[in-house]
A and B are shown apart, each in its own frame.
Chain A
Amino acid sequence: MTEAVIEVEGLSKHYGQVRAVDGISFRVAPGCTCALLGGNGAGKTTTIAMLLGLLLPTQGRIQILGEDMLRHRYRVLPRINFSSPYVDLPQRLTVAQNLTVYARLYGVRRVRVRLAKLGRELDIEPFFQRPYRSLSAGQKTRVALAKALLNEPEVLLLDEPTASLDPDSADRLRSYLMDYQTRSGATLLLASHNMSEVERLCNQVIMLRAGHIVDTGAPRELIKRYGRRDMEEVFLDIARGIRSGEVTP
Protein backbone atom coordinates (compact mmCIF):
# COMPACT_ATOMS: atom_id res chain seq x y z
CA MET A 1 0.00 0.00 0.00
CA THR A 2 1.38 3.45 -0.95
CA GLU A 3 2.21 5.63 2.01
CA ALA A 4 -0.42 8.35 2.35
CA VAL A 5 0.64 12.00 2.05
CA ILE A 6 -2.11 13.01 4.46
CA GLU A 7 -3.11 10.58 7.15
CA VAL A 8 -5.74 11.51 9.73
CA GLU A 9 -6.79 9.25 12.54
CA GLY A 10 -9.56 9.78 15.10
CA LEU A 11 -9.46 13.55 14.65
CA SER A 12 -11.86 15.55 16.82
CA LYS A 13 -12.43 19.18 17.69
CA HIS A 14 -14.87 19.95 20.46
CA TYR A 15 -15.88 23.41 21.66
CA GLY A 16 -17.54 22.60 24.96
CA GLN A 17 -20.58 20.51 24.05
CA VAL A 18 -20.27 21.32 20.34
CA ARG A 19 -18.50 18.62 18.33
CA ALA A 20 -17.29 20.49 15.25
CA VAL A 21 -15.33 17.45 14.08
CA ASP A 22 -15.92 14.11 15.72
CA GLY A 23 -13.43 11.30 15.33
CA ILE A 24 -12.78 11.39 11.59
CA SER A 25 -10.12 9.24 9.90
CA PHE A 26 -9.00 9.37 6.29
CA ARG A 27 -5.96 9.00 4.03
CA VAL A 28 -5.01 10.93 0.91
CA ALA A 29 -2.61 9.23 -1.49
CA PRO A 30 0.28 11.04 -3.23
CA GLY A 31 -0.76 13.02 -6.30
CA CYS A 32 -4.43 12.73 -5.42
CA THR A 33 -6.91 15.60 -5.53
CA CYS A 34 -9.28 15.10 -2.67
CA ALA A 35 -12.42 17.11 -1.93
CA LEU A 36 -13.84 17.68 1.53
CA LEU A 37 -17.54 18.19 0.95
CA GLY A 38 -20.40 19.01 3.24
CA GLY A 39 -22.95 21.67 4.05
CA ASN A 40 -22.25 24.72 6.17
CA GLY A 41 -21.02 23.68 9.60
CA ALA A 42 -20.15 20.17 8.45
CA GLY A 43 -16.57 20.58 9.69
CA LYS A 44 -14.62 21.20 6.45
CA THR A 45 -12.88 24.43 7.45
CA THR A 46 -12.24 23.11 10.96
CA THR A 47 -10.60 20.02 9.48
CA ILE A 48 -8.41 22.09 7.14
CA ALA A 49 -7.44 24.42 10.00
CA MET A 50 -6.35 21.42 12.07
CA LEU A 51 -4.38 19.97 9.17
CA LEU A 52 -2.53 23.27 8.87
CA GLY A 53 -1.86 23.55 12.58
CA LEU A 54 -3.92 26.74 12.97
CA LEU A 55 -6.25 24.87 15.26
CA LEU A 56 -5.26 22.29 17.87
CA PRO A 57 -7.39 19.16 17.83
CA THR A 58 -9.13 17.94 20.96
CA GLN A 59 -7.84 14.51 20.06
CA GLY A 60 -6.52 12.53 17.15
CA ARG A 61 -3.44 12.25 14.99
CA ILE A 62 -2.44 14.11 11.81
CA GLN A 63 0.47 13.02 9.68
CA ILE A 64 1.47 14.99 6.60
CA LEU A 65 4.38 14.02 4.35
CA GLY A 66 5.35 11.43 6.93
CA GLU A 67 5.62 13.92 9.82
CA ASP A 68 3.43 14.26 12.88
CA MET A 69 1.83 17.71 12.46
CA LEU A 70 1.20 18.14 16.16
CA ARG A 71 4.83 17.58 17.11
CA HIS A 72 6.85 18.59 14.05
CA ARG A 73 4.72 21.07 12.13
CA TYR A 74 7.72 23.29 11.34
CA ARG A 75 9.27 20.44 9.34
CA VAL A 76 6.12 20.25 7.23
CA LEU A 77 5.03 23.89 6.84
CA PRO A 78 7.76 24.86 4.33
CA ARG A 79 6.52 22.03 2.06
CA ILE A 80 2.81 22.80 2.11
CA ASN A 81 0.65 25.88 1.51
CA PHE A 82 -2.87 27.14 1.75
CA SER A 83 -5.31 29.51 0.13
CA SER A 84 -8.72 30.69 1.21
CA PRO A 85 -10.90 33.61 0.17
CA TYR A 86 -11.75 33.98 3.87
CA VAL A 87 -8.20 34.71 5.04
CA ASP A 88 -6.85 37.98 3.69
CA LEU A 89 -3.43 39.27 2.84
CA PRO A 90 -2.32 42.68 4.18
CA GLN A 91 -4.60 45.20 2.50
CA ARG A 92 -2.25 48.18 2.36
CA LEU A 93 0.65 46.38 0.78
CA THR A 94 0.85 46.06 -2.98
CA VAL A 95 0.49 42.66 -4.60
CA ALA A 96 4.23 42.51 -5.31
CA GLN A 97 5.09 43.50 -1.73
CA ASN A 98 2.75 40.86 -0.32
CA LEU A 99 4.18 38.15 -2.51
CA THR A 100 7.77 39.24 -1.77
CA VAL A 101 7.18 39.04 1.98
CA TYR A 102 5.64 35.58 1.72
CA ALA A 103 8.31 34.36 -0.69
CA ARG A 104 10.92 35.33 1.90
CA LEU A 105 8.94 33.68 4.69
CA TYR A 106 8.99 30.46 2.67
CA GLY A 107 12.67 30.86 1.89
CA VAL A 108 12.09 31.05 -1.88
CA ARG A 109 15.29 31.60 -3.83
CA ARG A 110 15.34 34.08 -6.74
CA VAL A 111 12.17 35.79 -5.53
CA ARG A 112 11.78 38.11 -8.53
CA VAL A 113 12.01 35.26 -11.02
CA ARG A 114 9.42 33.25 -9.08
CA LEU A 115 7.07 36.24 -8.83
CA ALA A 116 7.39 37.01 -12.52
CA LYS A 117 6.60 33.38 -13.41
CA LEU A 118 3.53 33.23 -11.17
CA GLY A 119 2.49 36.69 -12.34
CA ARG A 120 2.43 35.50 -15.95
CA GLU A 121 0.83 32.14 -15.24
CA LEU A 122 -1.99 33.50 -13.08
CA ASP A 123 -2.32 36.73 -15.06
CA ILE A 124 -1.76 38.96 -12.04
CA GLU A 125 1.31 40.79 -13.31
CA PRO A 126 -0.69 43.82 -14.53
CA PHE A 127 -1.69 44.68 -10.96
CA PHE A 128 1.55 43.83 -9.16
CA GLN A 129 1.96 47.46 -8.10
CA ARG A 130 -1.61 47.95 -6.92
CA PRO A 131 -2.55 47.75 -3.22
CA TYR A 132 -4.16 44.42 -2.39
CA ARG A 133 -7.25 46.22 -1.04
CA SER A 134 -7.97 47.77 -4.43
CA LEU A 135 -8.38 44.41 -6.18
CA SER A 136 -11.66 42.75 -7.05
CA ALA A 137 -12.64 39.57 -5.20
CA GLY A 138 -11.61 37.48 -8.19
CA GLN A 139 -8.23 39.19 -8.48
CA LYS A 140 -7.65 38.68 -4.77
CA THR A 141 -8.39 34.98 -5.16
CA ARG A 142 -5.74 34.69 -7.89
CA VAL A 143 -3.20 36.59 -5.79
CA ALA A 144 -3.95 34.34 -2.82
CA LEU A 145 -3.38 31.33 -5.05
CA ALA A 146 -0.07 32.82 -6.23
CA LYS A 147 0.91 33.15 -2.57
CA ALA A 148 -0.07 29.52 -2.04
CA LEU A 149 2.14 28.40 -4.93
CA LEU A 150 5.22 30.47 -4.07
CA ASN A 151 7.02 27.55 -2.44
CA GLU A 152 5.86 25.00 -5.04
CA PRO A 153 4.07 23.05 -2.31
CA GLU A 154 3.93 19.28 -2.25
CA VAL A 155 0.60 19.52 -0.49
CA LEU A 156 -1.83 22.32 -1.31
CA LEU A 157 -4.88 22.94 0.85
CA LEU A 158 -7.56 25.08 -0.74
CA ASP A 159 -10.69 26.38 0.94
CA GLU A 160 -13.28 27.09 -1.79
CA PRO A 161 -10.66 28.01 -4.40
CA THR A 162 -13.13 29.41 -6.95
CA ALA A 163 -15.73 30.86 -4.57
CA SER A 164 -15.59 34.43 -5.82
CA LEU A 165 -14.63 33.89 -9.45
CA ASP A 166 -16.72 34.35 -12.57
CA PRO A 167 -17.19 31.14 -14.64
CA ASP A 168 -14.40 32.04 -17.06
CA SER A 169 -11.85 32.84 -14.35
CA ALA A 170 -12.93 29.80 -12.33
CA ASP A 171 -12.44 27.55 -15.35
CA ARG A 172 -8.96 28.98 -16.00
CA LEU A 173 -8.02 28.49 -12.38
CA ARG A 174 -9.18 24.87 -12.38
CA SER A 175 -7.13 24.23 -15.52
CA TYR A 176 -4.16 25.84 -13.85
CA LEU A 177 -4.53 23.68 -10.75
CA MET A 178 -4.79 20.52 -12.86
CA ASP A 179 -1.73 21.56 -14.80
CA TYR A 180 0.19 22.37 -11.62
CA GLN A 181 -0.64 18.97 -10.18
CA THR A 182 0.40 17.16 -13.35
CA ARG A 183 3.71 19.06 -13.47
CA SER A 184 4.56 18.82 -9.77
CA GLY A 185 2.83 15.64 -8.62
CA ALA A 186 1.46 17.62 -5.69
CA THR A 187 -1.40 16.43 -3.54
CA LEU A 188 -4.42 18.73 -3.34
CA LEU A 189 -7.06 18.82 -0.64
CA LEU A 190 -9.89 21.22 -1.23
CA ALA A 191 -13.13 22.22 0.40
CA SER A 192 -15.70 23.24 -2.15
CA HIS A 193 -19.39 23.81 -2.68
CA ASN A 194 -19.01 23.66 -6.44
CA MET A 195 -19.87 20.11 -7.46
CA SER A 196 -18.93 20.41 -11.13
CA GLU A 197 -15.50 21.58 -9.92
CA VAL A 198 -15.26 18.50 -7.71
CA GLU A 199 -16.21 16.20 -10.60
CA ARG A 200 -13.63 17.80 -12.83
CA LEU A 201 -10.72 18.09 -10.40
CA CYS A 202 -11.03 15.38 -7.80
CA ASN A 203 -10.41 11.68 -7.77
CA GLN A 204 -11.38 11.28 -4.12
CA VAL A 205 -14.28 12.74 -2.17
CA ILE A 206 -14.82 12.80 1.59
CA MET A 207 -18.37 13.72 2.56
CA LEU A 208 -18.84 15.34 5.95
CA ARG A 209 -22.00 15.95 7.91
CA ALA A 210 -22.13 17.33 11.47
CA GLY A 211 -18.45 16.58 12.01
CA HIS A 212 -18.61 12.97 10.83
CA ILE A 213 -17.49 11.34 7.60
CA VAL A 214 -20.66 9.94 6.08
CA ASP A 215 -19.24 8.64 2.80
CA THR A 216 -16.09 8.52 0.70
CA GLY A 217 -15.15 7.46 -2.81
CA ALA A 218 -14.34 8.69 -6.28
CA PRO A 219 -16.95 11.08 -7.77
CA ARG A 220 -18.05 8.59 -10.46
CA GLU A 221 -18.25 5.83 -7.89
CA LEU A 222 -20.45 7.96 -5.63
CA ILE A 223 -22.72 9.03 -8.49
CA LYS A 224 -23.19 5.38 -9.45
CA ARG A 225 -23.70 4.21 -5.88
CA TYR A 226 -26.36 6.86 -5.21
CA GLY A 227 -28.00 6.32 -8.57
CA ARG A 228 -27.72 10.00 -9.43
CA ARG A 229 -26.77 11.99 -12.51
CA ASP A 230 -24.06 14.14 -10.96
CA MET A 231 -22.29 15.11 -7.75
CA GLU A 232 -24.75 17.94 -7.13
CA GLU A 233 -27.51 15.38 -6.57
CA VAL A 234 -25.24 13.14 -4.52
CA PHE A 235 -24.31 16.11 -2.35
CA LEU A 236 -27.98 16.95 -1.74
CA ASP A 237 -28.75 13.35 -0.81
CA ILE A 238 -25.94 13.19 1.69
CA ALA A 239 -26.40 16.69 3.09
CA ARG A 240 -30.09 15.99 3.68
CA GLY A 241 -29.38 12.60 5.16
CA ILE A 242 -31.01 10.69 2.28
CA ARG A 243 -28.95 7.57 1.64
CA SER A 244 -28.87 5.84 -1.74
CA GLY A 245 -31.90 3.63 -2.25
CA GLU A 246 -33.60 4.86 0.93
CA VAL A 247 -35.73 7.55 -0.71
CA THR A 248 -36.82 7.87 -4.32
CA PRO A 249 -37.57 11.46 -5.21
Chain B
Amino acid sequence: MTGISCGRIGAMVLRYVYLLRGSWPRVLELVYWPTVQMILWGFITRFLMTDSSLLGQAAGLLLAGVLLWDVLFRSQLGLSVVFFEELHSRNLGHLFVSPLRPLELIISLMTISLIRTLIGVGGAAALAIPFYGYNLFELGLPLLGFFANLMVMGWSIGLLVAALVLRHGLGAESIAWAAIFALAPLSGIYYPIATLPGWLQPLAWLLPASHVFEGMRAVLLVHTFRWDFMLYALVLNVLYLGLGIGVFLATFRVARERGLLLQSGE
Protein backbone atom coordinates (compact mmCIF):
# COMPACT_ATOMS: atom_id res chain seq x y z
CA MET B 1 0.00 0.00 0.00
CA THR B 2 1.37 3.43 -0.86
CA GLY B 3 1.41 6.44 1.41
CA ILE B 4 2.33 4.70 4.66
CA SER B 5 3.90 7.34 6.90
CA CYS B 6 6.52 6.63 9.54
CA GLY B 7 5.61 9.98 11.10
CA ARG B 8 2.02 8.90 11.74
CA ILE B 9 3.11 5.47 12.98
CA GLY B 10 5.55 7.24 15.30
CA ALA B 11 2.75 9.52 16.53
CA MET B 12 0.62 6.51 17.47
CA VAL B 13 3.52 4.74 19.17
CA LEU B 14 4.18 7.94 21.10
CA ARG B 15 0.50 7.96 22.15
CA TYR B 16 0.88 4.42 23.57
CA VAL B 17 4.22 5.20 25.21
CA TYR B 18 2.62 8.22 26.91
CA LEU B 19 -0.07 5.88 28.20
CA LEU B 20 2.43 3.39 29.54
CA ARG B 21 4.73 6.04 30.98
CA GLY B 22 1.89 7.76 32.77
CA SER B 23 0.94 4.73 34.85
CA TRP B 24 3.50 2.76 36.88
CA PRO B 25 0.95 0.03 37.76
CA ARG B 26 0.72 -0.71 34.02
CA VAL B 27 4.48 -1.16 33.75
CA LEU B 28 4.51 -3.28 36.90
CA GLU B 29 1.68 -5.42 35.55
CA LEU B 30 3.71 -6.08 32.40
CA VAL B 31 6.52 -7.66 34.42
CA TYR B 32 4.40 -9.11 37.22
CA TRP B 33 2.69 -12.08 35.52
CA PRO B 34 5.67 -13.33 33.52
CA THR B 35 7.75 -13.15 36.72
CA VAL B 36 5.17 -15.03 38.78
CA GLN B 37 5.00 -17.73 36.08
CA MET B 38 8.78 -17.93 35.95
CA ILE B 39 9.05 -18.34 39.72
CA LEU B 40 6.34 -21.00 39.82
CA TRP B 41 7.81 -23.06 36.97
CA GLY B 42 11.29 -22.59 38.36
CA PHE B 43 10.29 -24.35 41.58
CA ILE B 44 8.44 -27.07 39.66
CA THR B 45 11.61 -27.63 37.61
CA ARG B 46 13.71 -27.90 40.78
CA PHE B 47 11.32 -30.43 42.22
CA LEU B 48 11.08 -32.53 39.05
CA MET B 49 14.82 -32.48 38.44
CA THR B 50 15.30 -34.77 41.42
CA ASP B 51 13.27 -37.44 39.65
CA SER B 52 13.40 -36.72 35.92
CA SER B 53 16.17 -37.77 33.58
CA LEU B 54 14.71 -35.47 30.90
CA LEU B 55 15.01 -32.42 33.09
CA GLY B 56 18.41 -33.67 34.17
CA GLN B 57 19.50 -33.31 30.55
CA ALA B 58 18.03 -29.86 30.12
CA ALA B 59 17.12 -28.07 33.30
CA GLY B 60 15.76 -25.06 31.43
CA LEU B 61 13.17 -27.01 29.45
CA LEU B 62 10.17 -25.85 31.45
CA LEU B 63 11.50 -22.38 32.15
CA ALA B 64 12.29 -21.75 28.48
CA GLY B 65 8.80 -23.04 27.63
CA VAL B 66 7.06 -20.74 30.08
CA LEU B 67 9.08 -17.69 29.07
CA LEU B 68 8.58 -18.26 25.34
CA TRP B 69 4.89 -18.96 25.89
CA ASP B 70 4.69 -15.61 27.60
CA VAL B 71 6.22 -13.99 24.50
CA LEU B 72 3.24 -15.29 22.50
CA PHE B 73 0.70 -14.36 25.16
CA ARG B 74 2.12 -10.85 25.78
CA SER B 75 2.43 -10.18 22.07
CA GLN B 76 -1.24 -10.94 21.48
CA LEU B 77 -2.39 -9.14 24.60
CA GLY B 78 -0.13 -6.17 23.91
CA LEU B 79 -1.84 -5.61 20.58
CA SER B 80 -5.45 -6.30 21.57
CA VAL B 81 -5.48 -4.51 24.90
CA VAL B 82 -3.85 -1.38 23.50
CA PHE B 83 -6.43 -1.33 20.71
CA PHE B 84 -9.17 -1.58 23.36
CA GLU B 85 -7.78 1.63 24.88
CA GLU B 86 -8.97 3.44 21.76
CA LEU B 87 -12.44 1.96 22.17
CA HIS B 88 -12.58 2.75 25.89
CA SER B 89 -11.53 6.35 25.29
CA ARG B 90 -13.97 6.69 22.35
CA ASN B 91 -11.11 8.03 20.31
CA LEU B 92 -11.59 6.15 17.02
CA GLY B 93 -13.72 8.95 15.59
CA HIS B 94 -10.90 11.45 15.95
CA LEU B 95 -8.22 9.01 14.83
CA PHE B 96 -9.91 8.13 11.58
CA VAL B 97 -10.78 11.64 10.53
CA SER B 98 -7.06 12.31 10.78
CA PRO B 99 -4.85 11.10 7.91
CA LEU B 100 -4.04 7.94 9.91
CA ARG B 101 -4.58 4.81 7.81
CA PRO B 102 -5.77 1.53 9.33
CA LEU B 103 -2.54 -0.18 8.29
CA GLU B 104 -0.54 2.49 10.11
CA LEU B 105 -2.60 1.84 13.22
CA ILE B 106 -1.84 -1.88 12.86
CA ILE B 107 1.91 -1.26 12.56
CA SER B 108 1.88 1.04 15.59
CA LEU B 109 -0.03 -1.58 17.60
CA MET B 110 2.57 -4.19 16.63
CA THR B 111 5.37 -1.85 17.67
CA ILE B 112 3.92 -1.14 21.10
CA SER B 113 3.18 -4.85 21.53
CA LEU B 114 6.89 -5.54 20.90
CA ILE B 115 7.92 -2.88 23.43
CA ARG B 116 5.53 -4.24 26.07
CA THR B 117 6.68 -7.84 25.50
CA LEU B 118 10.34 -6.88 25.75
CA ILE B 119 9.66 -5.13 29.05
CA GLY B 120 7.51 -7.94 30.48
CA VAL B 121 9.23 -11.11 29.33
CA GLY B 122 12.67 -9.49 29.20
CA GLY B 123 12.28 -8.57 32.86
CA ALA B 124 11.21 -12.07 33.85
CA ALA B 125 13.99 -13.70 31.79
CA ALA B 126 16.57 -11.45 33.42
CA LEU B 127 15.25 -12.33 36.90
CA ALA B 128 15.49 -16.07 36.11
CA ILE B 129 19.28 -15.73 36.04
CA PRO B 130 19.77 -14.82 39.72
CA PHE B 131 16.74 -16.84 40.87
CA TYR B 132 17.51 -20.19 39.24
CA GLY B 133 20.81 -19.71 37.46
CA TYR B 134 18.89 -20.16 34.22
CA ASN B 135 19.82 -17.90 31.32
CA LEU B 136 17.31 -17.97 28.48
CA PHE B 137 19.67 -15.86 26.40
CA GLU B 138 22.05 -18.82 26.25
CA LEU B 139 19.78 -20.20 23.55
CA GLY B 140 21.73 -17.78 21.40
CA LEU B 141 20.69 -16.85 17.87
CA PRO B 142 17.86 -19.43 17.69
CA LEU B 143 16.18 -17.46 20.47
CA LEU B 144 15.79 -14.54 18.07
CA GLY B 145 14.02 -16.79 15.57
CA PHE B 146 11.75 -18.29 18.24
CA PHE B 147 10.98 -14.84 19.63
CA ALA B 148 10.19 -13.33 16.22
CA ASN B 149 7.89 -16.19 15.24
CA LEU B 150 5.98 -16.10 18.51
CA MET B 151 5.62 -12.32 18.30
CA VAL B 152 4.16 -12.54 14.81
CA MET B 153 1.75 -15.32 15.79
CA GLY B 154 0.63 -13.20 18.76
CA TRP B 155 0.01 -10.23 16.46
CA SER B 156 -2.11 -12.37 14.13
CA ILE B 157 -4.34 -13.56 16.97
CA GLY B 158 -4.37 -10.05 18.46
CA LEU B 159 -5.62 -8.60 15.18
CA LEU B 160 -8.39 -11.19 14.94
CA VAL B 161 -9.46 -10.42 18.51
CA ALA B 162 -9.30 -6.65 17.84
CA ALA B 163 -11.46 -7.13 14.73
CA LEU B 164 -13.97 -9.16 16.72
CA VAL B 165 -14.24 -6.47 19.40
CA LEU B 166 -14.45 -3.68 16.81
CA ARG B 167 -17.37 -5.53 15.21
CA HIS B 168 -19.20 -6.69 18.36
CA GLY B 169 -18.18 -4.09 20.94
CA LEU B 170 -16.35 -4.25 24.23
CA GLY B 171 -18.67 -7.01 25.43
CA ALA B 172 -16.38 -9.37 23.52
CA GLU B 173 -13.30 -8.00 25.35
CA SER B 174 -12.88 -11.06 27.55
CA ILE B 175 -12.03 -13.08 24.44
CA ALA B 176 -8.73 -11.20 24.34
CA TRP B 177 -7.69 -12.93 27.55
CA ALA B 178 -9.12 -16.33 26.71
CA ALA B 179 -8.31 -16.73 22.99
CA ILE B 180 -4.70 -17.70 23.31
CA PHE B 181 -5.30 -20.30 26.02
CA ALA B 182 -7.44 -22.32 23.62
CA LEU B 183 -4.28 -22.85 21.59
CA ALA B 184 -2.01 -23.64 24.55
CA PRO B 185 -2.72 -27.40 24.70
CA LEU B 186 -1.99 -27.71 20.97
CA SER B 187 1.21 -25.68 21.04
CA GLY B 188 3.35 -28.27 22.80
CA ILE B 189 4.82 -25.78 25.23
CA TYR B 190 5.86 -28.35 27.85
CA TYR B 191 5.56 -31.61 25.89
CA PRO B 192 6.29 -32.83 22.33
CA ILE B 193 3.46 -32.73 19.78
CA ALA B 194 3.82 -36.54 19.58
CA THR B 195 2.22 -36.65 23.04
CA LEU B 196 -1.09 -35.47 21.60
CA PRO B 197 -3.62 -37.98 20.24
CA GLY B 198 -2.92 -38.83 16.59
CA TRP B 199 -6.03 -37.06 15.26
CA LEU B 200 -5.05 -33.84 17.03
CA GLN B 201 -1.46 -33.71 15.82
CA PRO B 202 -2.15 -32.41 12.27
CA LEU B 203 -4.10 -29.56 13.86
CA ALA B 204 -1.21 -28.80 16.20
CA TRP B 205 1.24 -28.64 13.30
CA LEU B 206 -0.87 -25.88 11.78
CA LEU B 207 0.26 -23.61 14.61
CA PRO B 208 3.56 -21.75 14.24
CA ALA B 209 3.99 -22.07 18.03
CA SER B 210 4.15 -25.89 17.81
CA HIS B 211 7.13 -25.64 15.46
CA VAL B 212 8.80 -23.08 17.70
CA PHE B 213 8.48 -25.21 20.84
CA GLU B 214 9.66 -28.34 19.03
CA GLY B 215 12.59 -26.30 17.75
CA MET B 216 13.30 -25.10 21.28
CA ARG B 217 13.37 -28.67 22.59
CA ALA B 218 15.72 -29.67 19.78
CA VAL B 219 18.14 -26.93 20.82
CA LEU B 220 17.92 -27.74 24.53
CA LEU B 221 17.89 -31.55 24.37
CA VAL B 222 20.01 -32.46 21.36
CA HIS B 223 21.77 -29.13 20.82
CA THR B 224 20.59 -28.93 17.22
CA PHE B 225 18.97 -26.02 15.50
CA ARG B 226 16.20 -27.37 13.26
CA TRP B 227 15.79 -25.10 10.24
CA ASP B 228 12.75 -27.08 9.12
CA PHE B 229 10.79 -26.10 12.22
CA MET B 230 11.83 -22.48 11.81
CA LEU B 231 10.83 -22.45 8.16
CA TYR B 232 7.41 -24.02 8.78
CA ALA B 233 6.73 -21.51 11.54
CA LEU B 234 7.76 -18.66 9.26
CA VAL B 235 5.54 -19.74 6.37
CA LEU B 236 2.54 -20.30 8.64
CA ASN B 237 3.12 -16.92 10.26
CA VAL B 238 3.15 -15.15 6.92
CA LEU B 239 -0.22 -16.76 6.13
CA TYR B 240 -1.76 -16.01 9.52
CA LEU B 241 -0.48 -12.44 9.66
CA GLY B 242 -1.94 -11.85 6.20
CA LEU B 243 -5.21 -13.32 7.44
CA GLY B 244 -5.16 -11.20 10.62
CA ILE B 245 -4.49 -7.97 8.72
CA GLY B 246 -7.10 -8.87 6.09
CA VAL B 247 -9.79 -9.60 8.66
CA PHE B 248 -9.00 -6.41 10.60
CA LEU B 249 -9.17 -4.25 7.45
CA ALA B 250 -12.39 -5.94 6.31
CA THR B 251 -13.91 -5.38 9.75
CA PHE B 252 -12.79 -1.77 9.63
CA ARG B 253 -14.78 -1.38 6.42
CA VAL B 254 -17.81 -3.01 8.06
CA ALA B 255 -17.38 -0.57 10.96
CA ARG B 256 -17.49 2.31 8.47
CA GLU B 257 -20.61 0.89 6.86
CA ARG B 258 -22.40 0.49 10.20
CA GLY B 259 -21.19 3.62 11.93
CA LEU B 260 -19.31 1.65 14.58
CA LEU B 261 -16.34 4.05 14.64
CA LEU B 262 -18.53 6.68 16.26
CA GLN B 263 -20.27 4.29 18.63
CA SER B 264 -17.16 2.60 19.96
CA GLY B 265 -16.99 2.40 23.72
CA GLU B 266 -20.68 1.96 24.17
Contact = CB atoms under 8 A, between A and B. Distances in A.
Interface stretch (A84-92, A161-169, A180-188, A240-248): A84-92
A105 B259 contact: no
Contact of B94 (A53, A55, A89): A89
Interface residues of A, number: 35
B12 A88 contact: no
Nearest to B19: A92
B93 A54 contact: yes
Contacts of B256: 53-56
A93 B256 CA distance: 26
Interface stretch (B3-11, B124-132, B217-225, B231-239): B3-11
Interface stretch (A95-103, A205-213, A230-238): A95-103
A200 interface: no
Given A90-B85, A91-B89, A82 B14 contact: no
Contacts of B5: 107
Given A90-B91, A101-B11, A107-B7, A52 B97 contact: yes
B195 interface: no
Nearest to B101: A74
Contacts of A104: 7-8, 10-11, 14
B118 to A, nearest CB: 22
A49 to B, nearest CB: 6
Contacts of B259: 46, 49, 54-55
A58 to B, nearest CB: 9
B93 A77 contact: no
B99 interface: yes
Contacts of A84: 93
A106 interface: yes
Contacts of A23: none
B89 A90 contact: yes
Contact of B97 (A81, A88, A92, A101): A81
A104 B96 CA distance: 14
Contacts of B11: 101-102, 104-105
B interface secondary structure, majority: helix
B15 interface: yes
Chain B interface residue number, banded? 35 or more
Contacts of A81: 97
Contact of B18 (A74, A86, A87, A93): A93
Given A54-B262, A87-B262, A101 B99 contact: no
A86 B261 CA distance: 12
A74 B15 contact: no
B119 to A, nearest CB: 18
Contacts of A78: 99
B100 interface: yes
Contacts of B19: 90, 92-93
Contact of B91 (A80, A82, A89): A89
Contacts of B98: 77, 102, 105-106
B22 interface: yes
A155 B23 CA distance: 37
Interface string A89-126: 11111100100111011110000000000000000000
B90 interface: yes
Interface of B: 3, 5, 7-8, 10-12, 14-15, 18-19, 22-23, 85-86, 89-91, 93-101, 253, 256-259, 261-262, 265
13 contacts: A54-B96, A54-B256, A54-B261, A55-B257, A55-B259, A55-B261, A77-B98, A80-B97, A92-B22, A93-B18, A104-B7, A105-B11, A105-B99
Given A87-B90, A101-B14, 4 more contacts: A55-B257, A87-B262, A90-B85, A106-B98
